[in-house]
Amino acid sequence: MKIVKTKGIVIGEQVYSESSKILKVFTKEYGVISIMSKGCRKIKSQFHEASNKLVYANFDISYKENGISTLLAVDILKIFKNILIDYRDLEKKMYAFSLVDLSLQIIEQKHIKKEEIENIYDIFYSSLNKIDEGFSPKIIFNIVKLKYLEYLGVKPSLDACSNCGSNMNIVTISSSSFGYICNNCYHNEKLVSKDAIKMIRMLYYVDINRIKKLDIESDVEKEINDFLEDYYEEHTGIYNVIKKRYKMLHQITSMMSKE
């Protein structure tokens, strides 16, 4: 083993004994690693506060590749408290943990390279920050879903028609056609509004860190969400893994809309 310092976000925790936990930590340098946090379940432990989900910290560890590392010291940099503490905002929590689920599925793909994991980490951290700051968790989650398609190798065509390559007279976006469709290539695909077509492209290219405002009409937001769900189901092998979480999200959203 070697002693290393790494920044990471706790995305999972498992009780190991009466006093300890095994933490699942998403790091930029090493991807997702397991860390033994000895004695952290004791309230007076120096590791107690840091050994919980959605804690961002500097971890000093005795690193074991392909095994369980051991926590030596920790310095908390941020706790995503607004996601965790606001018990009234179940939607925020569900989208945050759906983001965890989805990110894990992406980085566990066999073809993912180290530099891609670093990019995914940046997207993941930035999106958690925005949800914690109070931005729409649903829109942030859809931005991430769009960006992650590149790492799944099924990025939709958002600059030109997916069939002929023309960037003129785009009339819709289709999951079955892998993106934009122009008027000349249109063959009875489901029509999507011009606002949704433009917004999907804008959300894909936006720098999450620079988002200052997110105002999207509810009907456009629904079109974007429907497109992404169809796209993930049709072109990725991970849709069923997060489908149960989606179902819970829809139930929560439905309940909230009726209040």
| Tens-digit pLDDT profile for residues 106-139 | 998 888 999 999 999 999 999 999 999 999 999 9
The Cα–Cα gap between 173 and 179 comes to 5
Note the pLDDT of residue 36. Answer: 98
Note the pLDDT of residue 52. Answer: 95
Q: Are 153 and 161 a contacting pair, CB within 8 Å? A: no
Residue for token pair 């009339």: 171
Q: What are phi and psi of 36, to 5 degrees?
A: -80, 120
Query: How many CB atoms are located within 10 Å of the residue 161 CB?
Result: 22
% of the chain at pLDDT higher than 90: 79
Note the pLDDT of residue 86. Answer: 64
The Cα–Cα gap between 132 and 119 comes to 20
Note the pLDDT of residue 85. Answer: 78
Average pLDDT of the chain to the nearest whole number = 91
The Cα–Cα gap between 47 and 40 comes to 5
pLDDT lower than 50: segments of the chain: none
Which residues are CB-contacts of 91 (< 8 A; sequence separation ≥ 6)? Answer: 137, 138, 249, 252, 253, 256
